[in-house]
Amino acid sequence: MFYLTRMLGRPVVDAAGETIGAISDVAIATREVFPRVTSLAFLGPEKTPFMLSWRKYVAEIDDEQIVLNVTRDVLRFSYLQPDEILLARDLLNQQIVDTQGMKVVRVNDLKLSESRNQLRLLGAEVGVRGILRGLHPAIEHSVDRLMRLFGRSLAEDLIAWNYMDLLDRDLSHVQLSVTHKRLHELHPADIADVLEQLSPAQRAKVFEHLDNTQAADTISELEDAFQADVIDDLGSQRASDILEIMDPDDAADIIGDLPYDKAEALLRLMGVEESGAVRGLLGYREKTAGGIMTPEVTTVTEEMTVQQVIEHLRGEASENESIYYIYVTDESNHLEGVISLRDLVVSDPETLIADIVTHEVITAYVEDDQEEVAETMSKYDLLAMPVVDETNKLLGIVTVDDALDVLEEESAEDLELATGQRAKAGITGIWRWVSRNGWLVVWIALFLVAATLEVPSLVLLVMSATVILRIAEDVASHALSRVIETEDDEERTPLWRRLASDAVAGSALGLLVGLVAGAVTWLVDEPAGVLDRTARIETAIAIGLVYALSVLVVSLAGTLVARVAEGIAARGHRVSGTAITVVLMLVGVVAFGAFAIGALGVLVSGSVGF
């Protein structure tokens, strides 16, 4: 096996044994399932770039060099073909879409395999192993050996070429292999997941390869925070074309989030019927049944037969968002009843709708809260729910997908309220970060003051306490997750078992932190002479123990705080995530201070100083 990062810089030797350059890149043919290396790029004398045909000139390759089959004087320059790309230039350290895992990843290395003097690309390494190998192979091997001591392995995270899609270079003209699952062939929900991980410029590149229908379906699947931004980045004409295709309720949600001038411009470009439907929905208040309903509803009258209704569904009603329920109305569009698609299928074609209609219909008033509507639909297992005004006039329907979105949104809001994690209104950007990490801001300020005053011991103390505070914050998050996922009383894990489990985890983490702290102390504390060696060792051990014990105390305190918080939540009271974090940070600071003072006393009494 070969890795690109190891190949780069290797010498290129001609048939006479003369080194004529160093490898700078290799090219692959993109049409194949496992792309074949087609060209070798290297820098010759005076950094002169050369590109040679791999098949024609490469005799052999090993871990040390590439050997050519001719001398340098008969080499002929080769050119990159339209279906070829350079691995180092076009893939290494670039972002790609993992179309199997539906995520955006960065290529840290590329793995190749040799067969019959040919190299083929197996895939892209996107894990930490590729990063370590890129730094130096010795670092990769050292970390791998260290992990094996703990019974773990440094596994490769490889994505095959079949599941890669390129982002940062326009390769639309490159015809990849038939089996290559391109991004635009994925389900719109999967495309949406990928788009949310991209920058605006990269999202625009993806939309260039989607037709309007695919783009409309994809935008509908995006999170609300991205929808308006994506539409705003598109040209006005294409944006209006996409909005016309979208369901009116989805289009209204997006237009409502756009600046007034942009929204008006798009509405004027849309068709009269489509823009009228959207404008009608914009008149309803947010978070109400009217705000989430779609006006596209299939209606019939009692005088129609089953056959006539089926023909109606095949014709003008076929484009409606939901046809699982057909609503019966009078001449003034007042709701009189409902029939299901099943009722139509099992009934005789000549049966009158009046004979099979159900008059007891569960409805929502246009001003009803959206959460109540969604909960009602969930309670009665409805795929759609009609929305009426005060005169019982049918205005639209709320579909099950919109109800699920509402329940998800409300659940997230309730979780933020329950844990005290809701961001303050009006705080954005850096100020939001400051509000969430105030303790870190204070410690950074103390660190800068200590550094300015040139007090090394204070600088070290501030840095040390920051580590303990950060660990306390992570323990608080773990404790809060336990509160959120509180088990039933009959199945609740006994406190002693949790304490034992967390003691093991805390000891392991404390040992790791302590070893690192002790090693750093040993390296920073420069010896004044040979006689100071014992003092340095004792100081490093003491500081390591201070860290280890502090981490262990914080871990056990997290277990106890979580159990207390579970009891508070069980009694119906709100549990504050901020309060849990503050308590554990205070425990961490007190424990660290107490152990540090104790260690200092031992060192001083033993005539050993920092």
Identify the pLDDT of residue 364. Answer: 94
Asked if the structure places residue 76 within a domain, the reply is yes
Asked if the structure places residue 330 within a domain, the reply is yes
The CATH number of the domain holding residue 56 is: 2.30.30.240
Asked if the structure places residue 136 within a domain, the reply is yes
Lowest mean pLDDT among 87-96, 243-252, 530-539: 530-539
Q: How many domains does the chain have?
A: 4
Burial label for 208, CB within 10 Å (0-12, 13-18, 19+), is: exposed
- Judge if 225 and 152 occupy the same domain: no
- Judge if 526 and 495 occupy the same domain: yes
- Judge if 29 and 84 occupy the same domain: yes
Q: How many CA atoms lie within 13 A of 198 on its CB side?
A: 27
Asked if the structure places residue 244 within a domain, the reply is yes
Greater confidence (458 vs 506) lies with 506
Is the pLDDT at 487 greater than 50? The verdict is no
pLDDT tens for each residue of 410-460: 776 665 555 444 444 444 444 444 444 554 555 555 555 545 555 455 455
Identify the pLDDT of residue 247. Answer: 85
Q: 351: pLDDT confidence band, cut at 50, 70 and 90?
A: very high
- Judge if 143 and 189 occupy the same domain: no
Q: How many CA atoms lie within 13 A of 489 on its CB side?
A: 4
* β-bridge mates for residue 21, sequence order: 12
- Judge if 122 and 207 occupy the same domain: no
Q: What type of residue is 414?
A: D
CA pair distance 252, 243, nearest whole angstrom:
9
Q: Of 283, 318, 338, at which residue does a domain stop?
A: 283
Asked if the structure places residue 420 within a domain, the reply is no
Asked if the structure places residue 496 within a domain, the reply is yes
Asked if the structure places residue 41 within a domain, the reply is yes
Instruction: Identify the domain containing residue 259 by its residue range.
Output: 183-283
- In the chain, pLDDT over 70 holds for what percent of residues? 73
pLDDT tens for each residue of 173-192: 333 332 334 555 667 887 78
Is the pLDDT at 338 greater than 90? The verdict is yes
Identify the pLDDT of residue 492. Answer: 63
Q: Which long-range contacts (CB under 8 A, 24 or more apart) does 350-357 make?
A: 350/305, 350/306, 350/307, 351/305, 351/306, 352/302, 352/303, 352/304, 352/305, 352/306, 353/300, 353/301, 353/302, 353/303, 353/304, 353/305, 353/306, 353/309, 353/328, 354/302, 354/303, 356/306, 357/302, 357/328
CB-based contact 110:125 (threshold 8 Å): yes
Q: What type of residue is 79?
A: Y
| Over residues 394-404, mean pLDDT | 90
